[in-house]
């Protein structure tokens, strides 16, 4: 599962569109960035938030260690929700860390 969103002026422009138009726009943007994603997106949920700010719900700290360590050296998490603070810097940092962990895992994996 991945979250893709538009904020600020882009969000205001998207608000003028129907949900199916927003879905098509987001999927096309995603596929332009990641061509291998074309044809594999299974579901899109459009949510319109007039005002939003990232926040951590009470008890969120209980899962922090699991998010940072991943699962069995096979699943690595990235995103603004993974860091201690929910913001784009955390999203970028955890993406880079997850990519490095995947590269290290692949380098040590037996050839198939």
* Same domain for 62 and 98: yes
**Containing domain of residue 67, as a range?**
53-112
φ, ψ of residue 109 to 5 degrees: the values are -75, 145
Question: pLDDT digit string (tens) for 68-96?
Answer: 888 888 888 888 777 666 677 888 888 89
Interatomic CA distance for residues 57 and 43, integer angstroms:
25
List pLDDT tens digits, range 35-50.
998 999 989 999 888 7
Residue 25 sits in the same domain as residue 73: no
Domain limit, last residue, from 52, 73, 92: 52
Instruction: Tell me, yes or no, whether 30 and 80 share the same domain.
Output: no
Reading the block at residue 34, the tokens are: 């990641």
Same domain, 58 and 44: no
Judge whether residue 101 has pLDDT over 80. Answer: yes
Domain count, the chain: 2
CA distance 43 to 27: 10
Q: Is the pTM of the predicted complex or chain greater than 0.85?
A: no
Identify the pLDDT of residue 27: 92
């Amino acid at each position: 599962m991945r979250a893709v969103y538009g904020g600020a002026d882009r969000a205001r422009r998207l608000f003028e569109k129907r949900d199916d138009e927003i879905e098509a726009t987001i999927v096309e943007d995603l596929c332009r960035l990641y061509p291998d994603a074309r044809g594999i997106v299974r579901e899109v949920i459009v949510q319109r938030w007039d005002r939003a700010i990232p926040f951590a719900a009470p008890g969120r700290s209980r899962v922090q260690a699991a998010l940072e360590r991943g699962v069995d050296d096979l699943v690595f998490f990235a995103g603004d929700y993974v860091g201690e603070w929910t913001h784009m810097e955390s999203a970028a940092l955890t993406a880079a860390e997850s990519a490095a962990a995947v590269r290290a895992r692949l380098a040590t994996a037996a050839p198939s």
